[in-house]
Structure 1
């Protein structure tokens, strides 16, 4: 699985970015460990929605490309970056499991006409 982590910030926060990237990669690998055979690429993007003004403005978007299940894109907005990451990972894992279960479940068979001995 290829992991791409993006966080558009200035060069002054390079130590924080490196630490956040390490945390994001570790959390992503942990959450997606059961479905790692299905995942081809994971892209994690963190952005500060309204800049330095504060508030609930850390948005984490996760774009997952799978082998046979299609593409899943989820996002979450929280006060802190790690909370946004955890919420987005929870949504992504839930969406992938639903798609995986949907693919495994056989289509329903149409009802067959029941013939009785009286109609023969």
Structure 2
């Protein structure tokens, strides 16, 4: 009897998880993905992130004024963390230096305008 109740609870939990996953896919809810590692500037809109599974190119949600500006922002960074919203084309990235300080990458004027 106890095992029957336990089995019912397990099956209910599994069906709830499957329904929520299928609803998320059906509604087109974008998945939030994090990637972190060393960064290299491609242009004012894109970075190559070198992480443990390879290289991924991410597009900044708020592009910098030019690629020199983006390089200056990365000058003291030892690590970059990016949150990708659905695809690599729109990512919000934060640079981290060896002391743990963090700052947003891209155009600060556009970031302030959208907040």
- TM-score of Structure 1 vs Structure 2, range by shorter chain: under 0.3
Structure of higher CA gyration radius: 1
Provide the TM-score with structure 2 as the length reference: 0.24
Q: Which has the higher helix share?
A: 1
Q: Which has the higher strand share?
A: 2
Provide the TM-score with structure 1 as the length reference: 0.23
